[in-house]
Amino acid sequence: MFQAGLPYLILTTGLIVLMVGVSIHRSHQVAWSLTVLTLIATFISHFFVYEAVATDIVVITELFRVDSIAYFFNAVFLLATLVLVLFAQVFLDRRTKFTEEFYVLILAATLGAMMLPASTHFASLILGLEVISISLYALIAYPDHARPPLEAGLKYLVLSGVGTATLLMGMAFIYAASGNLDFSSIHITDGSMEGEILFLIGNTLFWCGIAFKLSLVPFHIWTPDVYHGAPSVVTAFLATVSKGAVFAVVLRYVIEADILSSDTISNAIMLIACASMVIGNLLALLQNNLKRLLAYSSIAHMGYLLIVVFLISVNTSLGYESALFYLVSYFVMTLAAFGVIIALSSKSETEVDTLNGISGLLWTKPAAGAVLIAAALSLAGIPLTVGFFAKYYLFTAGISEGMWPLVVCLVLGSGLGIFYYVRIIFRTLEKPQEELSVSVPWLGLSITVLLALAIIVFGLYPTPLVDLIRAILVFPPTL
C-alpha cells in the first residue's frame, strides 16, 4: 500500500538532502545538479510503482488517495518544474548572490503541488496549498537588491493570505453544516434549512478562495502585478504548476462532493467562468508588457478550463480526458512563451519582457522568435497547434452537453484573444530597428525549441497524447 507513496518520499528525501548539503557546503552547481537529479528520480519512480495504482485506488490515511490521475498530474508538474530548474541556473546567477535556497524552495513547492491532486480531505488541501504559497512568497521576492520582485512578493503575500483565510472560513462553514472534512461526505447535511444555508455560505467562501488562487475574475487583480514583478522563472512556475495543482484538487472536490448538484453554486461558477474568459481577454488587448499580457491570457485560460468542471460532473471520463489534455497543452505553450522571456533575460540584469524588446526577434534570434510565434499561435488556438485541439475538446464538449453560455463566451474570448496574440507575432516579424545585444544560453534555447516542437507535433498528431491519457483513465478511479 505504501509503495504508491514512493514518489513523494523520494522528493522529500531529495529536499532534505539538498537542504543539509547546502548548509554544509554552498555550491550552485551541486545544488542545481542535486535538484535536477531529485526531480528526474521522482519522475522515473512513478513508472516503477505505477502497477500499484493502475488497478486499484491506494488510500494513504484519510488525507490522501493516490490514483493514476494523480500520478499523471505529478508527472506533468515534475516535468514543468524540471524545465524551469534547467532554465534557472543561468538565470539566477545574474540576480542573486545566494542561489541555493531557490532550489530548496522550488522542491518544497513541487511537493505541495504533488500532494494536491491526491488530496481527499480539507486538511490536506489547505496544507498542500500553503506549502506551494509559502514557498512562492519567498521565490517571488528572491532576487537581491531589486524592488519589483519584493513588491510583487508582498502583494502576493497579502492577497494570497486573504484568499487562504477565505478558503478556511468556507471550510469552517461547510464543516459546521456537515460535520465532515473529507470531500466525499461533506455534502451530507441534515436537510434542514439552516444546514443548507451554512453549506451555501461555506461553498461561496470556498470558491472565492479557490478563484483567488486560480486568478479568476473577479479575484484576478493581483495577477498582472505579481506576474510582472516576479522573476520570470517563478512567474512561469506560478502560471503552470501552482495553478495546475489547484485545478487538480478542484476537479476532485467537484466530483466527490457533487457540488454542481446545487443550482446556486453551479450558476455562480458559470458566471465566474464566463467573466474570466471575456474580461481576461479584454484586459489583455492593450498590454505592452509580455508578462502582463500572459497574465491576462492565463486568467482567460483558467476560465476556459472551468468548462471542464461542468463537463466532469455529467461525464467524468470525457471531462478528465479534456481536462488533462488542456492542462498539458496549457503547460507546454505557457512554458514555451515564458521560456523565450527567460532565455532572453538570462544574461541581463533586467527582464526582457516588453513588446518592444521582442521587436524583430525572428530576424535577430531566429530560434527564439520562431518559438514565440509557435507559442502565441497555440495560445490563440490556431489549427495545427496543440492549443487548437485543447480548445476543440472544450468546444465539442460544451456543445454536446448544451452549455450554451459557456460556449458563447469561449468563442467570444478566443476571438478577442486572437487580436493580441497576433500582435505578438507581428512584433516578432517586424524589421529589427537595432541589433539585439543579449546573448541567449544554449541550454535554455534548446529547451524552448523542444517545447515548440511539442506544440507542433502534438498539434499535427495528437493521438499519442490522447492515447496516453485514455490509458490512464481506463480504470476510472474516482467514478
Contact range with another protein by CB under 8 A, out of 76-84, 130-138, 159-167, 420-428: 130-138
The residue assigned the cell 493580441 is 420
Query: Does position 145 bind another protein by CB under 8 A?
Result: yes
Considering only residues 44, 123, 221, 457, which one is a binding residue for another protein as defined by CB under 8 A?
A: 123
Amino acid making up residue 45: S
What is the per-residue binding string for another protein in 41-60, x denoting contact by CB under 8 A? Answer: -------------------x
Query: Does position 258 bind another protein by CB under 8 A?
Result: no
Query: Does position 139 bind another protein by CB under 8 A?
Result: yes
| Number of residues in the chain | 479
Query: Does position 175 bind another protein by CB under 8 A?
Result: no
Which residues have a Cβ under 8 Å from the Cβ of 156 and sit 6 or more positions away? 136, 137, 140, 222, 226, 230
Query: Does position 172 bind another protein by CB under 8 A?
Result: no
Count the residues of the shown chain that bind another protein, applying the rule CB under 8 A: 34
The DSSP secondary-structure symbol of 184 reads G
Considering only residues 4, 7, 14, 15, which one is a binding residue for another protein as defined by CB under 8 A?
A: 15
Contact range with another protein by CB under 8 A, out of 106-114, 160-168, 259-267, 342-350: 106-114
8 Å CB contact between 116 and 245: yes
C-alpha cell at 380: 490563440
Query: Does position 74 bind another protein by CB under 8 A?
Result: no
Considering only residues 93, 144, 194, 467, which one is a binding residue for another protein as defined by CB under 8 A?
A: 144
Amino acid making up residue 64: F
Contact range with another protein by CB under 8 A, out of 42-50, 119-127, 247-255, 369-377: 119-127
Query: Does position 98 bind another protein by CB under 8 A?
Result: yes
Separation of alpha carbons 176 and 202, rounded Å: 9
Query: Does position 142 bind another protein by CB under 8 A?
Result: yes
Burial (CB count within 10 angstroms: exposed 0-12, middle 13-18, buried 19+), residue 74:
buried
Query: Does position 138 bind another protein by CB under 8 A?
Result: yes
Amino acid making up residue 250: V
8 Å CB contact between 236 and 84: yes
The DSSP secondary-structure symbol of 64 reads E
Separation of alpha carbons 57 and 68, rounded Å: 8
- The residue ranges that bind another protein (CB under 8 A) are 12, 15, 19, 60-64, 97-98, 101, 104-105, 108-109, 111-112, 115, 123-124, 127-128, 130-131, 134-135, 137-139, 141-142, 144-145, 153
